[in-house]
């Protein structure tokens, strides 16, 4: 008879947070299509992490669980970008077993501090206790050990999407549980009224401020790239948590390349 205690570790799994806080460079991708098959294919490609996107992607909360299972059947970690910061979106996503959360659109230290409380069981936070959930180990973790077992496993990725968020980056990076400050280039450039100008000196200065904050407090600086060939230069700038595209982008780009190759071969 199988011993349930011998089963593999139930999410959230601790490895990614440990690696990020150790300063390791990790590479990930976004999942926009809401498809468990797409999620598994991307996870099996060898990324360190993927982000299941409930903010801009096609997924709803109902689509989350099968994608978590698809990703977490591989070594790749499953981070979920919640649609908004809130006690229920945060708590329900962690109960489903996410390895980490990406939190969008926060601009004040008070908002960040409150969100952190929703991510952790008491006494460190106010996360609701439901021990039978996947994220609490399906009732295999005793009440007395729940906080010490689970709290420090969850990776906290907080997005930097405005000049106001850059202004509080240093103080935010000093908070326990803010493990990554993740720049959203599109939102940040638009908020600066230089939309899409990610090579502009003013934009690069903002990036450097985020990196400096993360370095000062031993946290990871993250960013999303559309061009994987830019990874080496962005790492040289100090970023360590590197997103390179999305499943929808891979599908679109692959389909376009295939059509162009076929038409070229046919002389069309």
Active-site residues, by number, are 56
> What's the token pair of residue 26?
């990790």
Residue closest to 134 by CA, chosen among 8, 33, 17, 46? 8
Structural contact between residues 99 and 120, judged by C-beta atoms closer than 8 angstroms: no
Indicate the Cα dihedral angle 45, 46, 49, 52, nearest 10°: 10
- Crossing angle for the helix pair 36-43 and 61-72, to the nearest 10 degrees: 30
């Amino acid at each position: 008879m199988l011993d349930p205690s011998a089963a593999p570790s139930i999410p959230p799994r601790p490895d990614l947070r440990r690696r990020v806080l150790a300063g390791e460079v990790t590479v990930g991708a976004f999942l926009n299509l809401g498809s468990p098959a797409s999620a598994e294919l991307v996870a099996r490609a060898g990324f360190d992490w993927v982000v299941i996107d409930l903010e801009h992607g096609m997924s709803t909360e109902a689509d989350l669980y099968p994608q978590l299972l698809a990703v977490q059947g591989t070594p790749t970690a499953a981070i979920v970008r919640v649609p908004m910061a809130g006690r229920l979106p945060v708590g329900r996503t962690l109960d489903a077993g996410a390895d980490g959360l990406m939190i969008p659109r926060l601009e004040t230290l008070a908002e960040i501090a409150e969100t952190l409380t929703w991510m952790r069981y008491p006494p460190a936070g106010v996360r609701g206790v439901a021990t039978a959930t996947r994220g609490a180990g399906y009732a295999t973790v005793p009440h007395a050990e729940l906080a010490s077992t689970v709290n420090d496993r969850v990776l906290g990725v907080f997005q930097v999407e405005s000049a106001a968020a850059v202004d509080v980056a240093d103080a935010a990076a000093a908070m326990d549980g803010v493990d990554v400050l993740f720049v959203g280039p599109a939102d940040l450039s638009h908020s600066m009224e230089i939309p899409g100008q990610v090579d502009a000196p003013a934009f690069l200065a903002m990036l450097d401020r985020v990196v400096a904050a993360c370095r000062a407090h031993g946290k990871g600086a993250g960013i999303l790239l559309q061009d994987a060939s830019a990874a080496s230069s962005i790492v040289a700038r100090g970023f360590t948590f590197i997103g390179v595209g999305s499943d929808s982008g891979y599908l679109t780009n692959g389909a376009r390349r295939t059509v162009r190759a076929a038409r070229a071969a046919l002389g069309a």
